[in-house]
Homo-oligomer: A and B are copies of this chain.
Amino acid sequence: MTSDTFDPDVFLQLGRDVLQRQPFSVLLGAELTHLMPGDVELQLPLRDDLKQQDGFAHGGVVSYLADNALTFAGGTAMRVPVVTSEFKINYLKPAMGERLVVRAKAVGVGRSQTVCRCDVFSVLGHEETLCAVAQGTISKRGDAPPA
């Protein structure tokens, strides 16, 4: 795909195809709702089986969303096959509501690594509440072990 033929709809569809080839993302029900190079939004309707014992989304669901969003942001920023090298997440508030939304952006794009940040929001009706923030490194495959 060269820059003169860049088609945002095709790009988003390619991303959705990747997401659908991740059985775990299908199990959880994640949806790719925005994708541009280094800029991604994923959504996840909050089902009961994604929760912990207090009725909030399990921390592992929130970290899954962060991990996946960072990886899509880094991969589309570098346009090469990538793996997630590492990330760090801070939980701010209980993740709840009808769905979770995560928005990730590449903040430092390198030749073999890209550093990305993301924000995870609880969504209820039209209201979004920031519930977690994360930051991590996405590496070109071959330069780091796959994850």
Contacting residues, chain B, for A107 (C-beta < 8 A): 92, 130, 133
Contact residue among B26, B53, B147 (Cβ-Cβ distance under 8 Å from A91) = B147
Interface residues on A, range: 35 or more
Contact residue among B51, B83, B112, B133 (Cβ-Cβ distance under 8 Å from A22) = B51
Kindly name the residue among A21, A89, A91, A110 whose own CB sees the greatest number of chain B CB atoms within 10 A.
A91
Oligomer copy total: 4
Contacting residues, chain B, for A85 (C-beta < 8 A): 85, 90-91, 113, 137
The answer, yes or no, to whether A33 is at the interface (CB within 8 Å) is no
6 examples of A-B residue contacts, CB within 8 angstroms: A24-B50, A24-B60, A27-B50, A56-B147, A64-B64, A110-B145
Listed in ascending order, the chain A residues whose CB lies under 8 Å from chain B are: 18, 21-28, 48-54, 56-65, 67-68, 71, 83-95, 107-108, 110-113, 115, 117, 130-137, 139, 143-147
